[in-house]
Structure 1
Amino acid sequence: MHGPEPRVTLIGRPGCHLCDEAKVVIERVTSELGVAWEERSIDDDAELRSAYAEQIPVTLVDGRRHDFWRVDEARLRAALES
């Protein structure tokens, strides 16, 4: 059985300190709101690398770009609560 469809996707790469910081915020907000999220690496997907290499970390909410470089906790929370 699969869990709920992730509403938040973090696109980054291993060793990226901004990605690590974004992950902390995303984990906190999604945990508090009971929202599923996933992490994807541009190193594993040429299409993601082409689209987002200069912007990581990129946060998608419901499949649409929400933030890049930094995750604003209040803005993410508001997007998920709407």
Structure 2
Amino acid sequence: MQSAGPTDGVAPHGATPSAYLVRLLRRRRRTRVRQLVIWSRAGCHLCDEMQEVVESVAAERAMPRVELTVHDLDLAGSEDPELLARYTSKVPVLVLDGVELAHFWMEPAQLRAALLRPVDGPP
């Protein structure tokens, strides 16, 4: 007979179920890849600064795994005029898991808080 493992949802002997669940949820939060997108423009110094902040915070040990994609708004906008119209005066735009998070600038502390917030949905 096999013993209960950490992934089957059963608390190990001696652990309270609530404490075990908290640890399990924290582990899941750390293993889910968060999707960050920066809508940028060539020659945009604010875009470069936002990318530096995102890369610096994402590299911190306590942060969940992050996949960063930087898109050129003008290039993408040539095929999607609606996208261009929506973001043209807001560049850079930071999007986290499909939700607009910031325009122009993002404080590192705010990004940390957003990345550490619990995520709905499957890990």
CA distance in 1, matches of 2:112, 2:89: 25
Query: How far apart are 1:29 and its partner, in Å?
Result: 1.1
Give the equivalent residue in structure 2 for 1:17.
Answer: 45
Between the aligned partners of 2:50 and 2:115, the Cα distance in structure 1 is: 16
List runs of 5+ in structure 2 lacking aligned partners.
Answer: 1-31, 118-123
Query: What TM-score results when the alignment is normalised by the length of structure 2?
Result: 0.59
**How far does the alpha carbon of each residue in 1:50-70 deviate from its partner, in whole angstroms, 9 at most, with x for none?**
210000000001111000011
Larger Rg: 2
Q: Which runs of 5+ in 1 are unaligned?
A: none
Residue in 2 that maps onto 1:74: 109
- Deviation of residue 79 (structure 1)? 0.7
Letter in 1 for 2:70: E
Moved over 4 A (4+): none
Q: Name 2:58's counterpart in structure 1.
A: 30
- Which has a greater percent of strand? 1
Alignment RMSD:
1.6
Q: TM-score, normalised by structure 1?
A: 0.86
Per-residue CA deviation, residues 3-53 of structure 1 (Å, 9 max, x unaligned), is x86511011111001001101001111122231111011111123322100
Rounded to whole Å, the distance in 2 between the matches of 1:6 and 1:50 is: 26
Q: Distance in 2 between matches of 1:29 and 1:73?
A: 6
